[in-house]
């Protein structure tokens, strides 16, 4: 199905199942422990051995030798495979660093060996016996030090510098200006489930149970790394314990499990230890961002410029922190620029809302700083600079844009009028109280997505697609889509996900998963509805599905009867036309935060939070709300505690576990509320939906930072905002 014109009325608009608050259909399996994750499959037949990875002890250089004699002789050891044994390192097309193979070291904790043993403890113990000699080279590990040598992106790429009008002249002549630099640190996905895989060979056929957000990407790249025919590999990932972008791309656990299983002649399960999750896999790169804003005395932006620096391995990508600034606010004179420095740290790559999350951590503080210079309320300043068209291309309107609605409704519900505009002026006992706001923005991305839908003889509908569920509710919204299309209860739909033998879906990432995968299911359902009409001799233009029946005119036949004895099946893919080119598709929101800061110690407590989101049709209010409050929680962590501390001499992240890399716990999170504006975007998809999973994070950290400033009068421009950055500037308490 080609989606190339705005959607009119369709079966989804009935909203008898779609749009309703259904609880997750996989919930009972998860809370009862019956949903098997990658490391937990016990029904594969035969004894399963355990693999343990060995990571490089240097960040850059070469391996001179690997002595494995002691490890091979250790109790219970079945096999040891080193990167030298494996031979040439082959890289998947989606990987920046080589995962395994050869003698070259590109980053600390790069996998250089795997030990397979009868038990986990035996494998781990034997791994410690491997001795490696290196030839170490000098590396680059400090973004600030490497900033001067950073290079521009390809001028023909979407990341190239942009310029509209004359930014320099407009900024220099503006009545009110801001020129400030903001810093965000390296950050880890820190998902609960580690990167884990279980591999089993049957002759030359390989099956891998793994934790992957994108089945086809992994399937393709694993075949490349192992130098195998893709058709001889089957990937299965039905349940995933969190990803946040860290499981978008093939990771070394799948490679080592497969290599170890081949060498040992046994099925092998392997999970990366937490330090290797931090140092071996991907992370959100640090940024240094300079923002300049000029405005007239009435608060209209006349010049806005955003520059960003980030670092990565050779052939790595930028952290695209300026992207939202190209679209979020008006201003006739504009410029954005990004520069990439070479760093020999582990691969920097996508983490929840890549680009917009760190970009808004800076931009939305800058907007508050500018509002204060102008003597304006921060909400009024944002409203005054709203735009209904792409500011860099005014001929290109937004399909829908209600940022003003989000800000105004949020202000009313949050009680913004009670905020004191004078920082450090409100006290409750020993606590300074502050309120903060920030805009939320995330683009709506479109990815082709396919599905297969089967009507079985008993009347049940089965949906198969390699879409994944990373805890976001994919099973449920896909079941809702099929149920709506065939007029049956959600309980009459079976959803099968996460298998490379199923049609290739959009996968889970970029906030595109829900809209695109359900659109693919919609397309397959349309085709199956046509097949049912043909089988029954009905006019497909006059057919309706409701209450378990198929109706056309005065004829009504049970859906189960329409299936016949053998059932009916259809498969299709949603493909996208040019609507996203002629019109800008984005999601918008507003975040509100109240904090209390201890006037004596600088301790920060977030007391309440509100998010208002405008993101097209909400397919399931329960799962969407869960996405947003989870994102809000992550935003608190990014604001107040999360930072991968870099050892700039040795080139590794020092705090590489959950004791040192501090994420919020339940006690840190206050009352949270979420409001979804009632909208449906006919230009986004046949579902008229968009996405909320990353929108819920964008702007949260800046709202926290702005609330802290309102409470204390201390402006912190480098995250995380820890008490040591506040305490010297707190108001006198005696």
Any idea which residues carry the catalytic annotation? 694
The DSSP secondary structure of 457-503, one letter per residue, reads TTS-EEEE-----SSS-HHHHHHHHHHHHHT--GGGEEEE-SBTTSP
Residues 6+ apart with CB under 8 A from 561: none
CB contact at 8 A, 121 and 66? no
Residues in a beta bridge with 520: none
Sheet of 555-558: strands edge to edge?
543-546, 549-552, 555-558
In terms of Cα–Cα distance, which of 291, 593, 244 is closest to 440? 593
Peptide bond into 569 cis (omega under 30): no
Backbone angles phi, psi at 265, to 5 degrees: 70, 25
Q: Tell me the two tokens of residue 535.
A: 């089988």
Give the separation between CA 565 and CA 259, rounded to whole angstroms: 45
Residues 6+ apart with CB under 8 A from 543: 529, 532, 533, 550, 551, 552
Grouping H, G, I as helix, E, B as strand and the rest as coil, residue 334 is strand
Helices (H), 542-681: 559-562, 579-582, 621-640
Q: Which residue has the tokens 């299983």?
A: 261
CB contact at 8 A, 655 and 644? yes
CB contact at 8 A, 729 and 483? no
**What's 279-305 look like in SS3?**
HCCCEECCEEEEEEEEECCCCCEEEEE
591-614 b/e (C-beta count within 10 Å ≥ 16 → b): bbbbbbbbbeebebebbebbbbbb
């Amino acid at each position: 199905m080609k989606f190339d014109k705005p959607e009119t009325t369709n079966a989804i608009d009935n909203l008898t199942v779609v749009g309703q608050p259904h609880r997750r259909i996989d919930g009972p399996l998860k809370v009862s422990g019956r949903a098997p994750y990658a490391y937990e499959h016990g029904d594969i037949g035969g004894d399963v051995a355990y693999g343990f990875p060995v990571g490089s002890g240097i960040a850059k250089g070469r391996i001179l030798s690997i002595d494995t004699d002691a490890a091979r002789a250790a109790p219970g050891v079945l096999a040891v495979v080193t990167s030298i044994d494996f031979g040439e390192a082959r890289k998947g097309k989606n990987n920046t660093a080589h995962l395994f193979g050869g003698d070259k070291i590109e980053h600390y904790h790069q996998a250089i060996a795997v030990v397979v043993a009868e038990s986990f403890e035996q494998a781990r113990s034997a791994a410690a016996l491997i001795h490696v000699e290196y030839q170490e080279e000098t590396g680059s590990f400090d973004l600030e030090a490497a900033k001067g040598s950073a290079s521009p992106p390809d001028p023909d790429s979407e990341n190239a510098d942009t310029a509209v009008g004359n930014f320099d002249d407009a900024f220099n002549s503006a009545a009110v200006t801001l020129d400030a630099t903001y810093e965000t640190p390296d950050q880890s996905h820190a998902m609960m489930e580690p990167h884990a895989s279980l591999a089993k060979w049957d002759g030359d056929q390989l099956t891998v149970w793994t934790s992957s957000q994108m089945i086809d990407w992994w399937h393709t790249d694993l075949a490349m790394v192992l130098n195998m025919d893709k058709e001889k590999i089957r990937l299965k990932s039905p349940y995933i314990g969190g990803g946040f972008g860290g499981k978008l791309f093939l990771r070394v656990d799948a490679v080592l499990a497969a290599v170890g299983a081949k060498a040992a002649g046994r099925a092998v399960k392997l999970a990366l230890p937490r330090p290797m999750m931090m140092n071996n896999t991907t992370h959100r790169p640090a940024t240094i961002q300079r923002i300049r804003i000029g405005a007239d005395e009435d608060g209209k932006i006349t010049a806005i410029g955003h520059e960003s620096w980030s670092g990565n391995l050779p052939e790595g990508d930028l952290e695209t922190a300026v992207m939202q600034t190209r679209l979020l606010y008006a201003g006739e004179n504009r410029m954005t620029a990004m520069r990439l420095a070479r760093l020999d740290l582990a691969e920097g790559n996508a983490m929840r809302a890549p680009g917009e999350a760190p970009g808004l951590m800076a931009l939305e503080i800058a907007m508050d700083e500018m509002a204060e210079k102008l003597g304006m309320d921060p909400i009024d300043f944002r409203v005054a600079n709203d735009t209904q068209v792409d500011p860099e291309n005014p001929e290109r309107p937004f399909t829908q844009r209600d940022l003003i609605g989000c800000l105004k409704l949020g202000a009313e519900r949050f009680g913004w009028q009670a905020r004191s505009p004078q920082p450090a002026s409100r006290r409750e006992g020993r606590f300074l109280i502050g309120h903060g706001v920030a805009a939320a923005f995330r683009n709506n991305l479109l990815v082709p997505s396919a599905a297969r839908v089967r009507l079985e003889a008993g009347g049940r509908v089965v949906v198969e697609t390699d879409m994944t569920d990373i805890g976001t509710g994919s099973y449920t919204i896909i079941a809702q889509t099929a149920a709506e299309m065939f007029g049956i209860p959600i309980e009459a739909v079976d959803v099968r996900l996460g298998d490379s033998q199923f049609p290739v879906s959009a996968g889970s990432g970029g906030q595109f998963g829900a809209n695109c995968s359900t659109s693919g299911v919609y397309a397959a359902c349309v085709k199956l509805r046509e097949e049912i009409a043909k089988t029954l001799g009905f006019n497909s233009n006059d057919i309706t599905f409701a209450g378990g029946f198929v109706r056309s005119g005065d004829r009504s036949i049970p859906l189960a009867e329409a299936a016949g004895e053998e059932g009916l099946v259809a498969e299709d893919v949603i493909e996208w036309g040019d609507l996203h080119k002629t019109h800008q598709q984005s999601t918008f929101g507003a975040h509100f935060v109240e904090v209390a800061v201890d006037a004596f110690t600088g301790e920060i407590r977030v007391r309440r939070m509100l998010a208002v989101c405008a993101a097209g049709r909400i397919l399931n209010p329960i799962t969407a709300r869960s996405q947003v409050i989870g994102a809000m929680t992550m935003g608190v962590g990014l604001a107040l505690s999360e930072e991968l501390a870099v050892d700039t001499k040795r080139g590794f992240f020092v705090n590489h576990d959950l004791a040192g890399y501090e994420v919020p716990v339940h006690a840190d999170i206050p009352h949270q509320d979420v409001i979804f504006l009632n909208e449906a975007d006919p230009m986004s998809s046949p579902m008229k939906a968009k996405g909320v999973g990353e929108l819920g994070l964008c702007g949260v950290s800046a709202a926290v930072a702005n609330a802290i400033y309102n409470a204390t009068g201390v402006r912190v421009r480098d995250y995380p905002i820890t008490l040591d950055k506040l305490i010297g500037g707190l108001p006198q308490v005696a």
